[in-house]
Structure 1
Amino acid sequence: MNIHFIQHETYEAPGAYLNWAENRNYKISFSKVYENNPLPDSVDFIDMLIVMGGPQSPNTTLEECSHFDAKAEITLIQKCIANGKAVVGACLGSQLIGQALGANFGHSPEKEIGVFPITLTEDGIKDKKISHFGSILNVGHWHNDMPGLTKESKVLAFSEGCPIQIVSYSDFVYGFQCHMELTTEVVSLLIESETDLLAESKKYKFVQNPEEILSYDYNEMNEKLFQFLDKLVLAYTSSK
């Protein structure tokens, strides 16, 4: 398996996604766009594209952020989907997948930062790739927005603060508004990137304070993510 990551910022690190790929000895490549790495010209070498999060939105322009080319990333996602590749998006990545399929992203009803439960929908419980999550699972969050939906897509999970947490766009294409890849190391980087998380935790219902976020054990959500990715790989390779 050839796994290609698009990473938008140092603090939006792939975390458990990268751990999973390394532990299974998959071939790994990166487009670290914050270092001005180019996006791939071809998708031939890619089996799975994983698009990470970031403070940007799909509407962010090159004038606003010179290292983030939303149109180019959307084009790459479209190429991967058209060529039957597996595509997974986290947060901003999930919104870009929706945009690539013609579904505009939206603003979440609530800002969510920290660890809060998601609830699987009926479609989520039926989806064999995530049914092992159980009906309710605590996962990481760090967002204001949420992905758009196509006619064919299915919402697999929601939270109290956001109605669209996990989306299946097709058998090989999934968007995760939530951050199941979080580890203590990644959380530390994210906290450093926030201007005043402690003040926000007192202002917003679904924003936790830094100490609470750092104290959480992320192993269970990471393991659930690993199982999802293994199932996605199995479905992908079985189709070839």
Structure 2
Amino acid sequence: MRVHFVVHESFETPGVFETWAMIRGHEVTFSRVYLGQELPDSARGIDLLIVMGGPQDPAVTTEECAHFDSRAEQALIASAVQLGKGVVGVCLGAQLIGEALGAPFAHSPEKEIGKFPIYMTDAGKASEMFSHFGHVLEVGHWHNDMPGLTPDAEVIAWSEGCPRQIVAYSGLVYGFQCHMELTPAVVEMLISHSDGDLSRAAEYRFVQSTDEIRASNYAEMNSVLFTFLDKLEHRYRQSDI
């Protein structure tokens, strides 16, 4: 498997996504756009495209953020979808998938930062891809927005603060507004770039304090994400037979 990551900022790392790819022995490549690394011309040389999060939203222009080209990333995502590749978007990445498929992103009803439960919808409970999630799972969050929905999209999971936590756009294309890739090290990087958000934690229903975020255990959600990625790899390989 050739896994390609689009990484928008140094502090929004792939975390456990990269750990999974390395442990499984996949070929891993990166477009670290904050370092000026270019996006692939197309998705032909990729099996699984993983687009990470960032402080931007899909409406941010290159004039506002020179290293973030929303239109180019959407074109790459569209290429991957059209070629039948696996695609996973996280936070901003999930919103970019929706945009690439004609579904504009939206602001989430609540800001969410920390670890809170997500709840599986009927579609999520019925999906083999998510059968190991159970009905409720505590996961990481760090967002203000949420992905748009195409006519064929299914909402797999929701939270009290956001109605679109996981979206299935097709059998190979998924948007995760939540952050199941977080580890203590990744959390520290996010905290170091989130002083403004966390200093006002008490003003928001779903923003935890720095101490609460650091005290959370992320191992269970990491394991659940590993299994999802194994299932996605299997499905992709079956689709290519």
* The two structures share one fold, judged by TM-score above 0.5: yes
1:140: which partner in 2? 140
1:93-115 alpha-carbon deviations (Å, 9 max, x no partner)? 00000000000000000000000
Q: Using the alignment, how far apart are the partners of 1:130 and 1:50 within structure 2? A: 18
Alpha-carbon deviation of 1:45? 1.4
2:236: which partner in 1? 236
2:165: which partner in 1? 165
Q: Using the alignment, how far apart are the partners of 1:4 and 1:116 within structure 2? A: 29
Q: Using the alignment, how far apart are the partners of 2:70 and 2:196 within structure 1? A: 28
2:54: which partner in 1? 54
2:175: which partner in 1? 175
Q: Using the alignment, how far apart are the partners of 1:94 and 1:121 within structure 2? A: 18
1:218: which partner in 2? 218
Q: Is the 8 A contact 1:108 1:161 kept in 2?
A: yes
Q: Using the alignment, how far apart are the partners of 2:81 and 2:197 within structure 1? A: 37
Q: Which amino acid aligns with 1:185?
A: A
2:5: which partner in 1? 5
Q: Which amino acid aligns with 1:95?
A: Q
Alpha-carbon deviation of 1:133? 0.5
Q: 1:79-94, aligned counterparts within 5 Å?
A: 79-94=79-94
Number of residue pairs matched?
240
1:73: which partner in 2? 73
1:14: which partner in 2? 14
1:29 aligns with 2:29: yes
Alpha-carbon deviation of 1:195? 2.4
1:206 aligns with 2:206: yes
**How big is the alpha-carbon RMSD for the aligned residues of Structure 1 and Structure 2?**
0.7
Q: Which amino acid aligns with 1:20?
A: W
Q: Using the alignment, how far apart are the partners of 2:198 and 2:24 within structure 1? A: 38
Structure 1 residues 60 and 198 mapped into 2: Cα distance closer, same or farther (>3 Å)?
Answer: closer
Q: Is the 8 A contact 1:77 1:100 kept in 2?
A: yes
Q: Which runs of 5+ in 2 are unaligned?
A: none
Q: Using the alignment, how far apart are the partners of 2:211 and 2:197 within structure 1? A: 10
TM-score, scaled relative to structure 2: 0.98
Q: Which amino acid aligns with 1:76?
A: L
1:153 aligns with 2:191: no
SS of equivalent residue, structure 2 residue 65: coil
Q: Which amino acid aligns with 2:16?
A: A
Q: Which amino acid aligns with 2:151?
A: K
1:143-182 alpha-carbon deviations (Å, 9 max, x no partner)? 0000000000000000000000000000000000000000
Alpha-carbon deviation of 1:199? 2.5
4+ runs deviating over 6 angstroms: none
Q: Which amino acid aligns with 2:185?
A: E
SS of equivalent residue, structure 1 residue 129: helix
Alpha-carbon deviation of 1:138? 0.1
Q: Using the alignment, how far apart are the partners of 1:199 and 1:186 within structure 2? A: 19
Alpha-carbon deviation of 1:197? 4.2
SS of equivalent residue, structure 2 residue 34: helix
Alpha-carbon deviation of 1:198? 4.0
Q: Which amino acid aligns with 2:209?
A: N
Percent identity over the alignment? 56
Alpha-carbon deviation of 1:201? 1.2
Q: Using the alignment, how far apart are the partners of 2:22 and 2:220 within structure 1? A: 18
TM-score, scaled relative to structure 1: 0.99
1:107: which partner in 2? 107
Q: Is the 8 A contact 2:42 2:80 kept in 1?
A: no
Q: Which amino acid aligns with 2:114?
A: G
Q: Using the alignment, how far apart are the partners of 1:199 and 1:193 within structure 2? A: 12
